[in-house]
């Protein structure tokens, strides 16, 4: 392998993946995804859709999941910095309701692998961010669920700097909490 550094988390299945960056006076080159390397790293998924979004400082998106068509995601930031969060919703999991957060940025080039069965969201910390992610299933309109980003039963410690105003759409403010979660 050698092309990737892989870190596991306290929650089984989550992976932090840092690609090898080859740089010189011209800039840099890195492989962001190569199936065989990822399979060797424990991420044996076929991705069928790539998405990209842009957001400004203080935007909080999530916590989202697909109900009947769960998606594994491989997420990364190509510009700016975000705090990315996954919440375990897998039935029977010993870490059900637990969360893990990871700082992703254009500088650290880390990628966060989130398997099926997790809610996902992120907070933009830089003035502007571009966020890219691969999905293992297609998006199905009408199949989206969510959890409230500030549910005290989950207890996510969002790194909200003093003076930052959150920009959250009404739908994301009104999701229920983990106690209301039904698959």
In terms of DSSP H, where are the helices of the chain?
35-40, 170-173
69 tagged catalytic: no
Kindly state the DSSP code that residue 167 receives in the 8-state scheme. B
Q: Which of 64, 69, 128, 139 is catalytic?
A: 64
Q: Give CA–CA dist 115/75, Å, rounded.
A: 11
Q: Is 133 part of the annotated catalytic residue set?
A: yes
Residues comprising the chain, all counted: 183
Q: Which of helix, strand or coil describes residue 59?
A: strand
Cβ neighbourhood burial of 95 (10 Å; 0-12, 13-18, 19+): middle
DSSP state of 178: G
Annotated catalytic residue, options 133, 139, 140, 181: 133
Who contacts 158 (Cβ-Cβ below 8 Å, separation ≥6)?
Answer: 60, 83, 85, 101, 123, 149, 150
Which residues are the active-site residues?
64, 133
């Amino acid at each position: 392998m050698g092309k990737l550094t892989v870190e596991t988390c306290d929650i089984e299945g989550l992976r932090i993946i840092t690609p090898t960056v080859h740089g010189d006076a011209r800039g840099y080159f890195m492989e962001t995804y190569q199936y065989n390397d990822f399979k060797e790293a424990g991420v044996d998924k076929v991705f069928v859709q790539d998405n990209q979004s842009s957001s400004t400082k203080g935007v909080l998106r999530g916590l989202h999941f697909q109900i009947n068509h769960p998606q594994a995601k491989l997420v990364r930031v190509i510009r700016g910095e975000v705090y990315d969060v996954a919440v375990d919703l897998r039935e029977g999991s010993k870490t059900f309701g637990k969360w893990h957060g990871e700082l992703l940025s254009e500088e650290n080039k880390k990628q966060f692998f989130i398997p099926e069965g997790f809610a996902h969201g992120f907070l933009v910390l830089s003035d502007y961010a571009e966020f890219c992610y691969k999905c293992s299933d297609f998006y199905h309109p009408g199949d989206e669920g969510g959890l409230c980003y500030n549910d005290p039963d989950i207890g996510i410690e969002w790194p909200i700097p003093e003076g930052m105003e959150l920009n959250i759409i009404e739908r994301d403010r009104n999701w229920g909490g983990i106690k209301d979660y039904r698959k």
